[in-house]
Amino acid sequence: MKIWTILSLSLALVGPGFADESPVFNYQDVVNRAEDLSKQPFTPQVQELSEDLQKLDYDLFFRIRFLTEHAVWPGLPYRLGFFHPGSYLKRRVVMHAIEPGRLRDIPFSPAYFHYDRPLVFSGHEDFAGFKVFAPSGRTGIQDEFLSFLGTSYFRAIGRGMHWGLSARGIAVNTGVSTPEEFPDFREFWVRQPLPNDTSLQFYALLDGPSLTGGYEFTVRYGDVTTMDIRATLFVRKKPEVLTLAPIISMFYFGENTVNKPTLRPDYQGKSRTELSMNSTEFLRRESRPQVHDSDGLLMTTTSGEKLWAPLDNPKSVELRRFSDVTSYSFLQRDRDASHYLDREAEYERRPNLQVIPQSGFENGYVRLLQIPAKDEYTDNMVAAWEVPNLPDAGGRLEFAYRLVWSTLEPDLDQFRVLSTTVRPSPQSNETRFTIEFGKPEKQETIPVAELRPHVVVNQNGQVRDVQFTPTDRGWLVSFTIFNPNPGPTSMDISCVILRRDNFTSEKWQYLLNT
């Protein structure tokens, strides 16, 4: 994959990516505001919405459309659009433009939007979030590639991609008994781009019960979209768990899912009945082979080892931790449209998202949280960097990292995991695994005698009947895990292909709950 090599070099030459600071408003200004805010009690920024906006149902609300002809800064490389308040989007988001020599407020106006029917407004509305457009390769078309909507959620895509997974500014008390907090990006300052700018810079003020923060974003749109982020957090009260650079995805079912759904999610309501000769209500069967935005978490470690953790929709909440990680990515590795059979969702076009820590990640580990989901509309996969030894109230944290949104992945020069199949046999306390490893594109032909699989399991589990079979794409490794323990057990399993006792593949890692 030569294109990735060129890409990695070009990113390295760019450097950290933070643009020159404006004398009108800069990173230190938003950090100062966050510090001042941390010394005040938390107050949710709830909008004063009219009754019409509060009662908008889902369909009516999402038929409200931003008019692109009213985008801020038409004709410049990056243009701002906005999200309408109402329905469940009730938090206030205040927008400012950093323009040459001045700071300008951007107030809400119904004139920005198209409505299917007249609505009554309170006169006190603000935006619910914002989006960014860039010129398309097609004349007269603008590409919407970035959106900030809902608490601290945001997402981006590269050119030609389909919207998919998301990121968050921060995650507080996720996956623990303490109630999770969802701090808000409550205010943004966006710097007007110059005609020849290739990046867009903006600042965000984060506010929540336990934390405040000042953020700087520098975004570059293209076939690969990059986002350089630096932030300073201030602690109001010490949270139980704090994770940096959280990325969020969806996994409903895939090739490794044992019990796949039989009906589409929107056809599983209580009013639905099974098909019979006396019924006129026809259920829509689930015929899609896979439904997910990402199929695995890829991690690079300090030793240079690559770890691949396949995602799955668990029966109960699963939490895993990985140490010595230098970067982590949610990947949609399977790009074959016939493996999804969904021309509307186009899961094969969903982006990968890589997190590259730059500073403030010296201690800690990657935390993978997998949450059960009953449909494809719930983001149930969370990967983030957990911070140990959190500062007490009044303390601060500083960190910086890069996000890369693309359909590419690094050339590993190793065998990489293409698929995972799981076949349990509860009666015999055995589970059969089949892992397909794809050949490295740049590697020479390796004599078969030099390769062998190496499978390890903990909790006294036993590895049985290992088979190693060549395919057109690489190798199949099949093996059985036997659980000798008397009760349910969580077993960590790893599998790697060795060449003369050296790693020549990613390390496949799986958590088996029996």
Q: How far apart are CA 467 and CA 481, in angstroms?
A: 13
Q: Is position 445 within any domain?
A: yes
Q: Is position 281 within any domain?
A: no
Contact 383, 328 (CB under 8 A): yes
Q: Is position 263 within any domain?
A: no
**Tally of CB atoms within 10 A around 353:** 29
Rounded to a whole number of angstroms, the CA Rg of the chain reads 25
Q: Is position 454 within any domain?
A: yes
Q: Is position 504 within any domain?
A: yes
Q: How far apart are CA 261 and CA 287, in angstroms?
A: 9
Structural domain count of the chain: 1
Q: How far apart are CA 12 and CA 266, in angstroms?
A: 45
Q: Is position 362 within any domain?
A: no
Residue 280: the pLDDT is 45
pLDDT mean for each 10 residues of the chain (514 residues): 32 44 88 98 93 89 93 95 94 97 96 94 95 85 94 97 97 94 98 97 98 98 97 97 98 95 74 48 82 98 95 96 97 97 96 98 97 95 96 97 93 89 93 95 81 96 96 95 92 96 94 92
Look-up of token digits 């920005």? 112
Look-up of token digits 């969702």? 345
**Per residue, what are the HEC states of 190-230?**
EECCCCCCCCEEEEEEEECCCEEEEEEEEEECCCCEEEEEE
Closest Cα to residue 298, out of 336, 355, 248?
Answer: 355
Specify the CATH number for the domain of residue 494: 2.60.40.10
Closest Cα to residue 371, out of 509, 244, 249, 242?
Answer: 249
Residue 413: the pLDDT is 84
The CA-to-CA distance between both ends of the chain, in Å, stands at 39
Closest Cα to residue 402, out of 217, 157, 133?
Answer: 217
Supply φ then ψ for residue 59, to 5 degrees.
Answer: -65, -45
Closest Cα to residue 490, out of 469, 468, 511?
Answer: 511
Give the HSE-up count for residue 166: Cα atoms under 13 Å, Cβ half-sphere.
19
Q: Is position 489 within any domain?
A: yes
Q: Which H or E element spans position 36?
A: helix 27-38
Residue 60: the pLDDT is 87
CA distances from 202 to 56, 216, 240 (A): 31, 6, 30
Domain region containing 477: 416-513
Number of helices and strands in the chain (H, E): 4, 33
Contact 279, 267 (CB under 8 A): no
Residue 20: the pLDDT is 56
Residue 10: the pLDDT is 34
Q: How far apart are CA 148 and CA 156, in angstroms?
A: 9
Instruction: Strands of 311-395 (E only): list them.
Output: 318-322, 325-331, 352-359, 365-370, 381-386
Q: Is position 85 within any domain?
A: no
Whole-prediction pTM: 0.92
Region for 18 from its dihedrals, namely left if φ exceeds 0, alpha if ψ lies in -120 to 50, beta otherwise: beta
Closest Cα to residue 142, out of 133, 155, 129?
Answer: 133
The one-letter amino acid code at 290 reads: Q
